[in-house]
Amino acid sequence: MTEGFDSIEDVEKIDKEDIYSKVVRAGKRTYFFDVKATRRNDFYLTITESKKRIGRDGKFYFEKHKIFLYKEDFEKFAEGLNDVVEYIRANQPELEEQHELVAEEIGVTSNEFTSIEFDDLDK
């Protein structure tokens, strides 16, 4: 069982008691960073990703994924996250470079695009 909890019911009860929360809206996703406490008053973090989806019936619902992060893992988690973010920033081609690569793959050069003026749309 999870450290500090005797049963899954304990986790669910505590899960409702937020000590501190931070909401981050990022495009189509929303992230919730919630500080919670065990019965022994040990703080831990839940990170929830929420995405709005459309069901087969056409109604909206939210798909959620949750991570529980305990204080003994904070440092290693932060180091890992920082490491991969720095790697991406250093190695990810810029957006313009990505467009050029896609154009090369499909055999289009930048001078093959047509320039259209808004005035031309009325004709």
Tell me the per-residue pLDDT of 53-109, one tens digit each, with 9 for 90 and over: 888 898 889 999 999 999 999 999 999 999 999 999 999 877 666 666 666 666 655
Task: Give the global pTM.
Answer: 0.58
- pLDDT in the model for residue 102: 64
Burial 33-46 (b: 16+ CB within 10 A, else e): ebebebeeeeebbb
Tell me the per-residue pLDDT of 25-52, one tens digit each, with 9 for 90 and over: 998 899 999 999 988 889 999 999 999 8
Cβ–Cβ contacts within 10 Å for residue 121, how many? 7
Contact 46, 66 (CB under 8 A): yes
Closest Cα partner for 34 from 4, 68, 64, 65? 68
Tell me the per-residue pLDDT of 71-81, one tens digit each, with 9 for 90 and over: 999 999 999 99
Which domains does the chain carry?
A: 8-109 (3.10.450.700)
